[in-house]
A and B are shown apart, each in its own frame.
Chain A
Amino acid sequence: MSANTAVADKYRNNFLKEIEEQVEMGDWVKMCMQCGVCSGSCPTNFQSAWEHPPQELFMMIRAGKREEVLTSSSMWNCTSCYNCIVRCPRKIPITHIMHGIAEYAHRIGLAPKMQATRFFSGLFWKNCTQTGRVNELKLSMGLYFKDGFASGIREGMKMKDIAIGMVLAKRLNPFELFGGHKCKDQKGIQAMLKKAYEIEHARKAAKMAG
């Protein structure tokens, strides 16, 4: 049984409860009074980028629209500007909930695979945890080649003048492509992250089971 079917079975017909228990700060969802000030304050124009603005997502959660919410790309578009949190008349931590829902959808394998924010998050994590340093060249190249080799070359060429400028200004080192710089105690960092992952994983697994 996959993680998704296990939780879906557990919270049969009670999606709000599922969100409250599994999502970080999810217990705030019921506090929303649908005033719409979060959507109105959002600097990303959600009509093109966001399928469902925050207060609509909250209403969908309460209406039990599990599939639509968890497979949606909406919450992945949050830029963490915190405008909604500042203005929310109920002081709901909307930004945190958006990230919480996104993380949960990812955890149970429902998040859209090639959604750009999700793809970038994975890439960034892998990139920086390997050596303890962010390798900017590999990171940006990884993102360019997200949709295949041809489009990667095409997108990359659009930026070639900027890239050359950065190389000349010593802001970009082409040799980073081969290994790249590392932090002093690479093994130490990796051991630390491994331990953190174990704790986090155990906590979430207990939540999913409990």
Chain B
Amino acid sequence: MTDIVATNETILVVGGGISGMTAALEAAETGKNVVLVEKNPALGGRTSQLYRYFPKLCHPTCGLEINQRRLKNNPRIRVLTLAEVTGLEGATGNYNATIKIRPRYVNENCTGCGDCERAVETEVPDPFNYNMGMHKAAYLPNSMAYPQRYVLDPAIIGTADADKAKAACKYGAIDLDMKEETIQVKAGAVIWATGWQPYDAAKIQPYGYGRFKNVITSVEFERLADIHGPTGGKILRPSDGKEAKNIAFIQCAGSRDENHLRHCSRICCMASLKQTHYVREKYPEDGKSTIYYIDIRAIDRFEDFYQKVQADPSVSFIKSKVAKVTEDEHGNPVCHGVDTEGYKRYTTPHDLVVLAVGMEPSVKGINIPGHIVADSSGFIEADPANGAVFGAGCATNALDVNRAVQSATAAALRAIQVVNKVAKAEA
């Protein structure tokens, strides 16, 4: 049974991505007790699935590593992985959360040696790589997973493979009798940092995602470029494994569209501009990027980043929302539309089409008891009616990492004020 000491002076943080981690750390470093709940087996969220992030094009491992060290050194944070908040009751200063914890089948003895992975034969789709590749059913969620502990996929429980894994473990870390459990956690304030999910590109029917193998999403493209991704960091197209050198980026795939997402997802322009760097990095000689856009919104202070990409001869910009994508006899995706600068029709084949998909709040459709006020896109609003449930990061708006961290710090400050009042440390 998972034991947690939590009082109404505890801050509950829901979601362990960059926002949740930041909010938890900021609160804990001021001396508050924090319970951090993450639904995946490891922290880091979507940020950990990026190859590099803008504007400096450093690897997310860097920023996450700093946060992981802060977490390890802070005894005030209790991290729960494979855990989901299924109910939330109460009011400001006195919440009671119901948390469902799924079994990991691996206990704290795990050293991350990987013997179980080598022993197991079953392979399952790897969600860290957006199911583009397979991994063993005994796996480390990703190379820098925190906690650095293996997980057994529930699919092999009760099979010979599970026994093989158990037999292979020298440390007695595998516990096949783990069961799902439900616990109650008290909290004075709640930070809701459930992040975002990529918009379901298959709903944008004319773009053919799901029908054409060489139409992929921007988040999948991140995994293709990453050395830990399904192609080992080579940009290869899914249909035939051919090097994809002529790549089209379609902006506003789902965003700014009344039929899909009403809001501008903000990060996608910068993400595509960033991804043109990947194309040049992998194919410095003959890589070619084409960005189809309505207008480039290089958010924040990143206009210079945009100008540098514009100056790059391997990148061309076409001011047009692509009307539809078809596939030619060689499996090349073909973009159809009208260049609004000159009103010329184009029918242009590419090796690969990358849809810069929009951000949909993960809170959307999740029924959290205690009415949470959200805007028309499902992002949490800062509303007094939410009591001491504070949104943080992409649960509140379409944000990049930088702004998500700012938002998380703000949420932590709000939560700290609430628990200070509970503790009578603040009027």
Contacts and interface: CB of A to CB of B under 8 A. Distances in A.
B233 interface: no
Given A35-B294, A87-B323, A89-B258, A40 B336 contact: yes
A45 B345 contact: yes
B338 A36 contact: yes
Contact of B256 (A40, A41, A47, A89): A89
Interface string A63-92: 000000000000000000000000111110
A91 B259 contact: yes
B387 interface: no
B370 interface: no
B321 A40 contact: yes
Given A53-B338, A56-B343, A89-B257, A36 B320 contact: yes
B324 A41 contact: yes
A166 interface: no
B378 interface: no
Contact of A34 (B252, B256, B336, B340): B340
Contact of A36 (B256, B260, B340): B340
B273 to A, nearest CB: 19
Given A34-B294, A37-B323, A40-B320, A87 B340 contact: no
Nearest to A59: B340
Contacts of B338: 36, 39-40, 53
Given A53-B338, A89-B257, A40 B343 contact: no
A55 interface: yes
Contact of B294 (A33, A39, A45): A33
Contacts of A37: 321-323, 337
From A36, A55, A88, A90, residue with most partner B Cβ within 10 Å: A36
B252 A89 contact: yes
A35 B206 CA distance: 15
Nearest to B257: A89
A90 B264 CA distance: 13
A90 B252 CA distance: 13
B86 to A, nearest CB: 36
Given A34-B294, A87-B206, A89-B256, A39 B343 contact: yes
Contacts of A53: 338, 343
A40 B347 CA distance: 10
Nearest to A56: B343
Contacts of B29: none
B62 to A, nearest CB: 37
A41 B326 CA distance: 13
B339 interface: yes
A90 B337 CA distance: 17
A89 B259 contact: yes
Contact of A90 (B206, B258, B323): B258
Contacts of A91: 258-259
Query: What is the interface residue range for chain B against chain A?
Result: 20 to 34
Contacts of A89: 252, 256-260, 321
Interface in B232-263: 252, 256-260
A33 B297 CA distance: 14
Contact of B340 (A46, A47, A55, A88): A55
B253 to A, nearest CB: 11
From A46, A87, A90, residue with most partner B Cβ within 10 Å: A87
B345 A47 contact: yes
Interface in A10-28: none
A62 B398 CA distance: 31
Given A47-B345, A87-B323, A89-B321, A36 B257 contact: no
Interface string B318-341: 011111100000000000111110
A41 B340 CA distance: 13
A35 B257 CA distance: 11
Given A87-B323, A89-B258, A89-B321, A36 B339 contact: yes
Contacts of B319: 36
Contacts of B323: 36-37, 39-41, 87
A40 B258 contact: no
Given A56-B343, A87-B206, A36 B337 contact: yes
A10 to B, nearest CB: 31
Nearest to B338: A39
B343 A35 contact: no
A28 to B, nearest CB: 12
Interface string A83-119: 0000111110000000000000000000000000000
A39 to B, nearest CB: 4
A33 B324 CA distance: 18
A35 B344 CA distance: 13
Nearest to A53: B343
A35 B319 CA distance: 8
A35 B345 contact: no
Interface of B: 206, 252, 256-260, 294, 319-324, 336-340, 343-345
Given A34-B294, A39-B337, A89-B258, 16 more contacts: A35-B320, A36-B319, A36-B320, A36-B321, A36-B323, A36-B343, A37-B321, A37-B322, A40-B321, A40-B322, A40-B336, A41-B324, A53-B343, A88-B258, A89-B252, A89-B257
23 contacts: A33-B256, A35-B340, A36-B320, A36-B323, A36-B338, A36-B340, A36-B343, A37-B321, A37-B322, A39-B337, A40-B322, A40-B323, A40-B336, A41-B206, A41-B323, A41-B324, A47-B344, A47-B345, A53-B338, A87-B323, A88-B258, A89-B258, A89-B259
Closest 7 CB pairs of A and B: A40-B323, A40-B337, A35-B321, A89-B257, A39-B338, A36-B340, A91-B258
Interface of A: 33-37, 39-41, 45-47, 52-53, 55-56, 87-91
